Amino acid sequence: MFPNFELCCSAFEKYGLSLDRNIYDKLSVYCDFLIEYNKNVNLTAITDPSDILYKHFIDSIIMVKYVDIPQNACIIDVGTGAGFPSIPLKIYRPDVNLTLLDSLNKRITFLQLLCEKIGIRAEFIHGRAEDYSKKPEYREKFDISCARAVANMSLLSELCIPFVKVGGMFISMKGPNEDISLGLNAIKLLGGNVSRETNYSIENEERRIVQIEKISQTPTKYPRNSSQIKKKLL
């Protein structure tokens, strides 16, 4: 069972965030539905409600503390999985316009059912980032692309930066150990520039948010196809 409202308020306050009853109710439904759905479809290894609160929900929403997200921003979550970080962010900031992209249809089905349950609107894309970022209706159309993934920065940048309009941002939520400098060449080639890195911790686990500003258009040859990307990183 999801922690009660008072416990969740205390948890949010611990990380400098506020929580109201409407947000709490949506997160509670999200948690219960995720745990139940995960029994049949593998979406997350984190299934304890308290861990979901901290390691999924707060760790997603904490982005608002460190990133200046414009009002009504168009955001694409690349490889969204079970909806992190973007659905908790949308619950917390209902003004943002959300697109959820994942290569596995079973995840997209879960996300569609979830959003219907909690009453939020989003666009759902079942497909690969390297294919959809070449389509005119998605290429360089978003204020923000985000990813909460273990892939290295070079790979993530090639998948995510092409979606971002000049002046927008790619936000990568990562663990503490990766050497971000190994992705700097890719970031530069794709039209980006690392503008800020923020280190923080959630329940004594180190985390990092890397903000990449889109300063010029991505050359049309990027992203490469998946076989080229796997063969050699930028």
Residue 56 falls within a domain, yes or no?
A: no
Phi, psi values for residue 150, rounded to 5°: -90, -10
Question: How far is Cα 228 from Cα 19, in angstroms, rounded to an integer?
Answer: 45
Check if the beta carbon of residue 157 is closer than 8 Å to that of residue 96. no
Residue 39 falls within a domain, yes or no?
A: no
Closest CA to 88 of 157, 40, 130, 31: 31
pLDDT band for position 185 (cuts 50, 70, 90): very high
Residue 16 falls within a domain, yes or no?
A: no
Residue 233 is predicted with a pLDDT of: 87
What average pLDDT does the chain have? 95
Residue 19 falls within a domain, yes or no?
A: no
Residue 77 reports pLDDT greater than 90: yes
Question: How far is Cα 140 from Cα 178, in angstroms, rounded to an integer?
Answer: 27
pLDDT mean over 175-193: 91
Question: How far is Cα 100 from Cα 120, in angstroms, rounded to an integer?
Answer: 12
Residue 54 is predicted with a pLDDT of: 97
Phi, psi values for residue 136, rounded to 5°: -55, -30
pLDDT band for position 230 (cuts 50, 70, 90): confident
Residue 164 is predicted with a pLDDT of: 98
Residue 110 is predicted with a pLDDT of: 98
pLDDT band for position 177 (cuts 50, 70, 90): confident
Residue 2 falls within a domain, yes or no?
A: no
The secondary structure element, H or E, covering residue 126 is strand 123-126
DSSP β-ladder status, 97-102 and 123-126: parallel
Question: How far is Cα 75 from Cα 179, in angstroms, rounded to an integer?
Answer: 26
DSSP 3-state of 194: strand
Residue 44 falls within a domain, yes or no?
A: no
DSSP one-letter code for 54: I
Residue 207 reports pLDDT greater than 90: yes
Question: Can you say whether residue 81 is alpha, beta or left, with left for phi > 0 and alpha for psi between -120 and 50 degrees?
Answer: left
Residue 180 is predicted with a pLDDT of: 87
What is the number of structural domains in the chain?
1
Give pTM, 2 decimals. 0.96
pLDDT mean over 186-191: 97
Q: Read off the pLDDT of residues 147-158 as tens digits, 9 standing for 90 and up.
A: 997 788 999 999
Whether residue 88 is preceded by a cis peptide bond, meaning omega within 30 degrees of 0, is: no
pLDDT band for position 184 (cuts 50, 70, 90): very high
Residue 168 is predicted with a pLDDT of: 98
Instruction: Say which residue the tokens 């070449």 belong to.
Output: 134
Contacts of 1 by beta carbon, 8 Å cutoff, 6+ apart = 32, 49
Residue 197 is predicted with a pLDDT of: 94
Q: Which domain holds residue 218?
A: 71-231
Q: Read off the pLDDT of residues 24-52 as tens digits, 9 standing for 90 and up.
A: 999 999 999 999 999 999 999 999 999 99
Residue 62 falls within a domain, yes or no?
A: no
pLDDT mean over 109-138: 97
Contacts of 167 by beta carbon, 8 Å cutoff, 6+ apart = 213, 214
Residue 182 is predicted with a pLDDT of: 86
Residue 34 is predicted with a pLDDT of: 98
The secondary structure element, H or E, covering residue 5 is helix 5-14
CATH at residue 204: 3.40.50.150
